[in-house]
Structure 1
Amino acid sequence: MSAEPFVGTGRDRLRELLDAVVPGDESAAGVPDMARRIHASEFHFSREVRRLTGEPPAALRRRIMLERAAWRLGRGEGVAEVAAAEGWSSPEVFSRAFRRSFGVPPSQVAESGRGFRLPAPNGLHFHPPQSLWIDAEPGGHQDSAVSRLMIDHDIADTAHLIRRAECLTKDQWTQELSPGQVVLEWDGPEPSVGAVLAAIVWTKEVWLASIEGRDQPSREHADPATTPQDLAAHHDDVSRRWVAMVTDVTARGRLSDTVIDALCDPPESFQLFGIVAHVLTYSAHRRGLARAMLARLGVPAGMGDPLDWMRSH
């Protein structure tokens, strides 16, 4: 056998290894069994697990099993029940291993308030009820990672939907599939694929005007005469400005600044992070509407799941 299963082919390499080490059952108790689960040699399997996690597979499995056992004990399950469920040869063997690791016998873990995590060289831990959790490295930008993912995915997914709409006829692009459909009352009706996709771009453009101090933009790209190709080019321009704005205010620590929007009548005040949240919320809603409308016209556009998008980027 070879290490071929570990070579990236669009699969999650670490996830594959961890599934073999901690499969959620007792089907892979030893390293040879773990390696066989993914059709790898024991040597290559052990080397890859150690390289990616900093722990030998047997030690990693043992620690995760003990963490999972501690969590179950903390929920009130009995020692013998947990020992059997986690694959230990006897409650006595389990109790000795547990006490060495946690400093208290398993019968006392619920009262100790100890928690179920053990020290780990890789930040990899059991996560209830049957998952794993990998802690981010200290000093990372965890506070902005989710927001940046949502911003990038929103732009990429909008571009994808506009590209899918390019195969529509002009009549289909403007066809009122949902007469009277209104997302936000001040934006007016959005009954067609073209109107919904144009509104996604228009919303960013309006808020950019408020933040950048520009005049109210025209809605020429929401006109029925606008083609998907024209909207795609306009979206590229607006999205670049949008990302540049969010990146700049984030880097300067100004997301809590307030914009008094004179484009509103009467003027209203908005904090920048609220504006970003508003745009992302309604963009996601409109992308869902656009997907459903495209499907009605026989044009599949995928699920739009950020997880799927992350795997390809």
Structure 2
Amino acid sequence: MRNRRDRLRELLDAVLDEDNTSLGQMAAGAYASPFHFSRQFSRGTGESPVGLRRRVLLERACWQLGGGMSVTEAAFAAGYDTVEGFGRAFTRAFGHPPSATPPRTGRAPRWLPAVNGIHFHPPISLWVEGEPKGRSDMDPTALLLHHDLEDTRLLLEAAAGLPGDRYRYNRSPGAVVLPWDGPEESIAAVLHHLIRSKEVWLAAIDGADIPAPGADDPAALTARLAEVGPRWLDTVREIDRRGGWGDTLIDALCDPPESFVLGSVIAHVLSYAAYRRQQVRYWLHRELSEETVGWGDPIEWLRDRA
């Protein structure tokens, strides 16, 4: 019996061929018209050819940057005409600029949310989680994690345009989100705790000391987000890869020590992060405009990234 061709693999090869930078070239490489190529590919992967190529090459660029490649080299290797265009796309995808990519630590490369489980695998191959054909769902945890970081960055960019007195203005006297965090009465305070919560929980998961609070001006918070964001994503990804959502964390930083199920910790951080982001957004709407920071809808965020 003749071996059947792996048509999906052929389509993927055509999309990721270094010389196929346009839809027409991809289709020609798979001996199909652009229309039929796109339809076959989207049916098999749940993602457009151009969208998958762009995402996988960004994942590869992140891995390359972590290994010491310059931003310029990574930009052109990923098929971008300008470093600026690459920087914008990378920042939208990972929640921090290319220059803030942390060094590789021996872990697998960082992956972006994907409908099909198809990702970059170093040095030059693909990794497919499970069977991509027929999947039409997206992992909501991954989407919420990435949306949280990118939305926080958007709010910080908007807050940076406020005068200092408006940034620190007491807008809700006595407002408390969580009793152990203290008052969160200003944009500055809420944004600080939005980032601080991830810093503290990462310390608990890693068994490290409670980190110093750090400055809360927009520039400092942006730098803190660029540092903690990749670590937060990597930590959650490792929990997921080992199936550790039900593991118990004994947090010695609490007095007395407390135990927490890891899945509940991630849900806790995402829940209160969403609340804090929307509180800041409401205040920024009153200071600036609704168009400046939008409504924080993950549907719109995902649509804009497509």
What TM-score does the superposition give when structure 1 sets the normalisation length? 0.54
Distance 1:144 1:250, change over 3 A: farther
State the secondary structure of the residue aligned to 2:177: coil
> Pick from 250, 255, 258: which aligns with 1:260?
250
How far is 1:145 from its partner? 1.2
Distance 1:258 1:140, change over 3 A: farther
The amino acid of 1:309's aligned partner reads W
Query: Superposition pairs for residues 105-254 of structure 1, below 5 Å?
Result: 145-221=139-215, 226-254=216-244
**What's the CA shift string for 1:279-300, capped at 9, x where partnerless?**
0000000001000111222244
Runs of 4 or more, structure 1, over 2 Å off, are 44-54, 136-144
State the secondary structure of the residue aligned to 2:147: helix
In the other structure, the counterpart of 1:62 is none
CA distance in 2, matches of 1:266, 1:197: 28
Q: Is the radius of gyration larger for structure 1 or structure 2? A: 1
**What's the CA shift string for 1:135-193, capped at 9, x where partnerless?**
x9667888981110110000110111011111011111111011111000000000000
How far is 1:203 from its partner? 0.4
**2:303 pairs with 1:304:** no
The amino acid of 1:302's aligned partner reads G
**2:283 pairs with 1:289:** no
CA distance in 2, matches of 1:266, 1:143: 42
What stretches of structure 2 of length at least 5 have no aligned partner? 1-33, 45-129
How far is 1:242 from its partner? 0.5
CA distance in 2, matches of 1:169, 1:301: 17
CA distance in 2, matches of 1:172, 1:284: 22
CA distance in 2, matches of 1:200, 1:140: 37
The amino acid of 1:195's aligned partner reads A
**What's the CA shift string for 1:193-214, capped at 9, x where partnerless?**
0100111100001100000111
How far is 1:230 from its partner? 1.0
Work out the percentage of aligned pairs sharing the same amino acid. 43
CA distance in 2, matches of 1:241, 1:254: 17
**Size of the alignment, in residue pairs?**
186
Distance 1:52 1:153, change over 3 A: closer
CA distance in 2, matches of 1:303, 1:292: 9
- Please provide the CA RMSD for this pair: 2.9
